[in-house]
Amino acid sequence: MKKLPLKFYQRKDVVRIARELLGKVVVTNIEGIITSGRIVETEAYMAISDKASHSYKGKRTARNEHMYSPAGTAYVYICYGMHQMLNVVTNEKGIPDAVLIRALEPVQGVEDMLIRTGKSKPDNTLTKGPGNVGKALGINKQHSGLLFLDDVISIYEDKNSNVAEAEIGISKRIGIDSAGEDALLPYRFYIKGNKFVSGRPVN
């Protein structure tokens, strides 16, 4: 496998990046425990203009500060006081574009994922949904601000990373109805038919 280069994240089209992250492999090395999963679902959030983004209208707080970091930075936030949500910061420093990793297909370290999630068997809920992604990979808020080019959280491509256009589903994002018309934007991408995809896979 080859780690994604910095230039992959530095591009200005966050929607394209969200689409192209499908099939890539997230690897974590948390206290010597290595786990990984192939990305099967993402959502794009477009900086200041997107009402669904934490940085809408340039909002900048201690919680979302890492969205303004250089491309290739991990932005981890807590949802509902318990779910650790992993995001990939893109574009350039000061422009808070980000991609939410919504679901993975487990690749390595399934036994450790089961321990972390408290599950007894590796069914399709193990890494389905962004809260389970963070939990299974051992990611928490303290990992926000790390670079994907380092070794704690990394993203790789391999021979299986290229997903054909016909295999990619596109829809509105999930759980952001309060964003008004922006809730309808087709910024969610997923691999059709994959059992780890969350929500309803509607084109």
> Got the DSSP string for 36-102?
EEEEEEEEEE-GGG-TTSTTGGG---TTTGGGGSPTTBEEEEEETTTEEEEEEE-SSTT---EEEEE
Predicted confidence at residue 201, as pLDDT, reads 52
30: helix, strand or coil: strand
Q: Which CATH superfamily is domain 2-191 in?
A: Methylpurine-DNA glycosylase (MPG) (3.10.300.10)
Q: Which pLDDT value is given to residue 203?
A: 47
The pair of structure tokens assigned to 36 is 């990984």
Whether the Cβ atoms of residue 88 and residue 136 lie closer than 8 Å to each other: no
Give the span between the Cα atoms of 125 and 138, in whole angstroms. Answer: 16
What are the structural domain ranges in the chain? 2-191
Residue whose C-alpha is closest to residue 179's, from 16, 96, 56? 56
Span 100-135, pLDDT tens digits? 999 999 999 999 999 999 999 999 999 999 999 999
Tell me how far apart the alpha carbons of residues 136 and 109 are, in angstroms, rounded to a whole number. 9
What tens-digit pLDDT sequence spans the chain (203 residues)? Answer: 999 999 999 999 999 999 999 999 999 999 999 999 999 999 999 989 888 888 888 889 988 899 999 999 999 998 766 678 999 999 999 999 999 999 999 999 999 999 999 999 999 999 999 999 999 999 999 999 999 999 999 999 999 899 999 999 999 999 888 888 888 899 999 999 999 999 765 54
Q: What is the pLDDT of residue 53?
A: 86
Cβ–Cβ < 8 Å for 119, 135? no
* pTM attached to this predicted model: 0.94
Closest CA to 48 of 56, 60, 36: 56
Identify the pLDDT of residue 58.
84
pLDDT of residue 187: 96
